[in-house]
Amino acid sequence: MIRSPGTQSIRSALVDTQGNVEHLAKVAIEPYFSAEPGWAEQHPTLWWDNLKILTRKLWARSSIDPSAVCAIGISYQMHGLVLLDESGHVLAHGRCPRGVL
């Protein structure tokens, strides 16, 4: 399984052990916004909620048993920052300097 939350969309795919894409799902998300000059922000809960939706879509379209997943690959913006409290709750929007997008 491949997960790729990005700045414009979130993608998820089921790939077999030979590297063949079995199923692919994608959802467009709200583009980043800027609360201060030079920064870009997005809502981290938006990423997580849409990954859960995409996972359900993939399993609904696939005959693959979820227990057959042997690895999960994640691709993500390298310099993104998401602040969490002790309980794992998001404290602020996800931040990334615009120069690295």
CATH superfamily, domain at 2-100: ATPase, nucleotide binding domain (3.30.420.40)
Say what the pLDDT of residue 96 is: 63
Coil, strand or helix at 1? coil
Q: What are the structural domain ranges in the chain?
A: 2-100
Length of the chain counted residue by residue: 101
Name the DSSP class of 40: E
Question: Tokens 């809502």 sit at which residue?
Answer: 43
pLDDT digits (tens, 9 = 90+) for 15-58: 888 888 888 888 888 777 777 777 777 777 888 888 888 888 88
Whole-model pTM: value is 0.67
* pLDDT reported for residue 100: 45
How many angstroms separate the CA atoms of 75 and 101, rounded?
A: 14
